[in-house]
Amino acid sequence: METEWPVPSPAAAAVIVQGAELVLDPPAEWIDDFNSAALRGVRLDEIAGDRTLVDALVGTNMANLAQWAQHNVAAPGARVPIRVIDDGAAMVREMVRRGLDSGLLDAFRTAQSVAWRRWMEVCFALTDDPGVLREVLDVTSQSIGTFLDDTVEALAEQIAVARAQLAGDTHAERRAAVALVLEGAPIDDARAEAQLHYRLAGPHTAVVLSGAGIPMKRLEAVCDAIMAANRVDRRLTVLAGADRLWVWFPTDVLDVDERAVPDGVRVAIGRSGSGREAFRRSHFQALAADQTVVRLGAERAVVRYADLALLGALSEDRTVVDDFVQQTLGDLAAADSELRECLRTWFAEQCNSTATAERLFTHRNTVVRRLAKAEELLPGGALGGNAIAVAAALEVRRWQD
């Protein structure tokens, strides 16, 4: 039997209307607390890089708050119908695709606790009549709790539908197989290749394509254009978010004309390599390049890890730092430390061999020979235009020694 819904007295109803009107135009501090609580309710680290999903979650949160307040202005204390949440279906689907499940609904529970605390502050400020205050809190507690329960139930149904749909989703299958390879799981190449429809042997260049609000068809079109420009006949594509693609091209040379990339789209490119390890490394490099550009606030359409490796090495991630040192120094990274120290000192002495010899208490000819040997061990056998990165990598390697 359905519980009878309480009808507030005129005095309590007046307080509820006043409070709801305040909620419709909340101070910035309330909004920040409310949304921060919601984001603490999900595994934010898994969606933080996808601004579209974060914004969608915050938007849903704020829309639910407005829904409750608007209805309580019109019908104080009455049961509030849930929002038409079809517009949230895309958000739910993408979050499920990212591995999030009904646990994401905790976002609304944590937000509710903050909203209730703020609501009590409002009510205590609007009336000092104990009887009216008790009635207002009793009625609105049931109203808020029921509205949230109804909303969560509807979203849970959408999550169940999305999970069922994704069970046979090609992108989901590919993403699962790619995740195993990227995590270094002991899945053999034959099985992985069968699921990916892509060879792990041979060359790879990984790319991360992203664009806030850019339709997925447009990102796919950018992939097609890159393939055509590089005369590549196939690729591996994984849908990594509402507006993000992970792509692997089976080539060791990938040219992308920045002028041909549509406005709002960013193409982050990892270093090329061959084999399963290169498949992993190039992808993580593309991710690192993309994240570095985001941190810098730069708006470049095409970014390469090779150009951003030095900045990426400033990361707290030891793996990124180690990769930067190895990729920059090549064989010199594992060579005699005497060679590295000679080259590092040469940089410190402004590329002056005589000053370097004095500082190392050795003969200038010895310094010249060591510099020549060190340069031979560098990737490409020369400093070229990479002197700044080499100097930084040598400094890192010195501390590692």
Under 8 Å between Cβ of 342 and 370: yes
Kindly indicate the confidence band of residue 1, based on its pLDDT and cuts at 50, 70 and 90. Answer: very low
Q: How confident is the model at residue 175, as a pLDDT?
A: 78
Kindly indicate the confidence band of residue 309, based on its pLDDT and cuts at 50, 70 and 90. Answer: confident
Q: How far apart are CA 190 and CA 207, in angstroms?
A: 23
The tens digit of pLDDT for each residue in 150-191 reads 888 877 777 776 665 555 556 667 777 888 888 887 778 888
Under 8 Å between Cβ of 130 and 63: no
Q: Mean pLDDT over residues 300-318, rounded?
A: 75
Q: How confident is the model at residue 184, as a pLDDT?
A: 82
Q: Is the pLDDT of residue 97 over 80?
A: no
The tens digit of pLDDT for each residue in 280-306 reads 999 999 998 888 777 766 678 898 988
Q: Is the pLDDT of residue 399 over 70?
A: no
Q: Mean pLDDT over residues 66-89, rounded?
A: 81
Closest CA to 379 of 257, 273, 304, 282: 273
Domain ranges of the chain: 10-166, 171-312, 327-400
Under 8 Å between Cβ of 248 and 206: yes
Alpha helices in 207-362 (DSSP H): 216-230, 276-296, 305-312, 318-329, 337-348, 353-360
Q: Is the pLDDT of residue 209 over 90?
A: yes
HSE, side-chain direction, 13 A CA sphere, residue 72 = 30
Q: Mean pLDDT over residues 191-206, rounded?
A: 89
Lowest mean pLDDT among 13-17, 110-114, 370-374: 110-114
The tens digit of pLDDT for each residue in 13-64 reads 999 999 999 988 888 888 888 777 777 655 555 555 567 777 777 788 788 8
Under 8 Å between Cβ of 152 and 108: yes
Residue given tokens 């606790």 in the structure block: 113
Tokens of 318: 């030891």
CATH fold of 171-312 reads Alpha-Beta Plaits (3.30.70)
Closest CA to 136 of 128, 23, 64: 128
Give the list of residues 6+ apart from residue 46 with CB closer than 8 angstroms, or none. Answer: 98, 99, 100
Q: How confident is the model at residue 244, as a pLDDT?
A: 86
Closest CA to 279 of 198, 205, 382, 184: 205
Q: How confident is the model at residue 291, as a pLDDT?
A: 84
Instruction: Encode 374-397: b = buried (16+ Cβ within 10 Å), e = exposed.
Output: bbebbeeeebeebeebbbbbbebb
Q: How confident is the model at residue 222, as a pLDDT?
A: 92
Kindly indicate the confidence band of residue 2, based on its pLDDT and cuts at 50, 70 and 90. Answer: very low
| DSSP tag of 183 | T
Task: Give the best-scoring range by mean pLDDT among 55-64, 75-84, 104-113.
Answer: 75-84
Give the list of residues 6+ apart from residue 228 with CB closer than 8 angstroms, or none. Answer: none
Q: Helix 337-348 to helix 387-400 angle, to the nearest 10 degrees? A: 130
**Helices (runs of H) and strands (runs of E) counted in the chain:** 16, 6
Q: How confident is the model at residue 195, as a pLDDT?
A: 80
Residue type at position 262:
P
